[in-house]
């Protein structure tokens, strides 16, 4: 057994703390995240309110505990849908080639050639704010990256000698794709998935800050930052608390992705073992 990677241990621990705090928010939160009390508005941290209160007198600590639920769920769903659709398009193009490959590659090039942030803002602006429209905008701007990588991996695996041997034994396309091609690229997909989740979280925060993503009064970190624009000078804790949560979430996801890349990269692993 190899010794534990400190980076992975730290990333997993930090990510677990953030996820568990959001999952157990109904138990840990001392107040209703949407309960207002104008008598205590814009108060600093105190015993009654550990992180202070916002402009409507809502407890900031309770809202922070609930704040990652929507962003994390939407980011995971958007990344999973983008990966599924991108893998489908990439595998079909790389495996069958010809006109299918030309069409799928052209579509991926078109979507990748468009500025992702501008396209997301345009889609969310046309369809309006809300989680379904936000999810659609994220998927449409993310699937092409998965598709190109999957296509490249499919072209490589298709030329392997064991694939030719299985064809000789009578294995069909569905069996080869499902049992041999897709499983052999899943390690790369896991690493790519973690990195894309972090990007999705940042994209959700950006769109929600502009009023095109998750809508208030949903307790969300990015919505909390947007709501604090008018009072951040007199009450900086309104931005610091949710901002630190987004920073720590992105840090843990990126560190986890780097650790997984180092562990699943066979060539770098062989170099370290020498």
Tell me the Ramachandran region of residue 44: left when phi exceeds 0, alpha when psi lies from -120 to 50, beta otherwise.
Answer: beta
Q: Domain range for residue 151?
A: 6-29+52-273
Distance of alpha carbon 263 from alpha carbon 274, whole angstroms: 15
Residue 131 maps to a domain: yes
pTM of the full structure: 0.83
| Residue 61 confidence (pLDDT) | 92
| Residue 229 confidence (pLDDT) | 83
Residue 151 maps to a domain: yes
3-state secondary structure the chain: CCCCCHHHHHHHHHHHHHHHHHHCHHHHCCCCCCCCCHHHCCCCCCCCCCCCECCCCCEHHHHHHHHHHHHHHHHHHHHHHHHHHHHHHHHHHHHHCHHHHHHHHHHHHHHHHCCHHHHHHHHHHHHCCCHHHHHHHHHHCCHHHHHHHHHHHHHHHHCCHHHHHHHHCCCCHHHHHHHHHHHHCHHHHHHHHHHHHHHHHHHHHHHHHCCCCCCCCCCCHHHHHHHHHHCCCCCCHHHHHHHHHHHHHHHHHHHHHHHHHHHHCHHHHHHHHC
Buried b (16+ CB within 10 A) or exposed e, 54-66: beebbbbbbbbbb
Residue 35 maps to a domain: no
Mind listing the pLDDT tens digit for each residue in 162-203?
Answer: 888 888 887 788 888 888 888 888 878 888 888 888 888 888
Mind listing the pLDDT tens digit for each residue in 105-152?
Answer: 998 888 888 777 788 888 888 888 788 888 888 888 888 888 988 998
Residue 34 maps to a domain: no
Contact indicator for 61, 93 with CB cutoff of 8 Å: no
Query: What domain count does the chain have?
Result: 1
Query: What CATH number is attached to the domain comprising 125?
Result: 1.10.3720.10
CA-based end-to-end distance of the chain: 16
Residue 198 maps to a domain: yes
HSE at residue 54, side-chain half, CA atoms within 13 A, is: 28
| Residue 44 confidence (pLDDT) | 86
Contact indicator for 31, 64 with CB cutoff of 8 Å: no
Better-scored residue on pLDDT, 80 or 5: 80
Mind listing the pLDDT tens digit for each residue in 207-263?
Answer: 888 888 888 778 888 888 888 888 888 888 889 989 899 999 999 988 888 888 777
């Amino acid at each position: 057994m190899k010794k534990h990677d400190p980076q992975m241990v730290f990333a997993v621990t930090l990510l677990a703390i953030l996820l568990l705090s959001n999952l157990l928010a109904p138990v840990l939160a001392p107040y209703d995240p949407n309960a207002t009390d104008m008598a205590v508005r814009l108060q600093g941290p105190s015993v009654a309110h550990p992180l202070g209160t916002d402009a409507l007198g809502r407890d900031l600590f309770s809202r922070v505990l609930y704040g990652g639920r929507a962003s994390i769920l939407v980011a995971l769903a958007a990344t999973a849908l983008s990966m599924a659709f991108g893998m489908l398009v990439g595998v079909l193009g790389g495996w069958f080639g010809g006109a299918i490959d030309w069409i799928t590659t052209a579509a991926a090039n078109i979507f990748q050639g468009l500025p992702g942030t501008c396209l997301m803002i345009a889609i969310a602006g046309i369809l309006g704010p809300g989680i379904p429209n936000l999810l659609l905008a994220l998927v449409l701007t993310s699937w092409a990256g998965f598709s190109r990588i999957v296509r490249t991996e499919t072209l490589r695996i298709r030329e392997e000698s064991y694939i030719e041997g299985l064809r000789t034994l009578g294995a069909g396309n569905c069996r080869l794709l499902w049992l041999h091609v897709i499983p052999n690229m899943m390690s790369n997909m896991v690493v790519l998935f973690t990195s894309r989740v972090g990007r999705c979280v940042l994209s959700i925060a950006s769109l929600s800050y502009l009023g095109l993503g998750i809508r208030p009064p949903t307790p969300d970190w990015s919505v909390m930052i947007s709501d604090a624009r008018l009072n951040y000078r007199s009450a900086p804790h309104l931005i610091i608390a949710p901002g630190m949560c987004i920073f720590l979430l992105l840090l843990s996801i990126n560190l986890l992705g780097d650790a997984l890349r180092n562990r699943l990269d066979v060539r770098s692993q062989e170099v370290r073992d020498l």
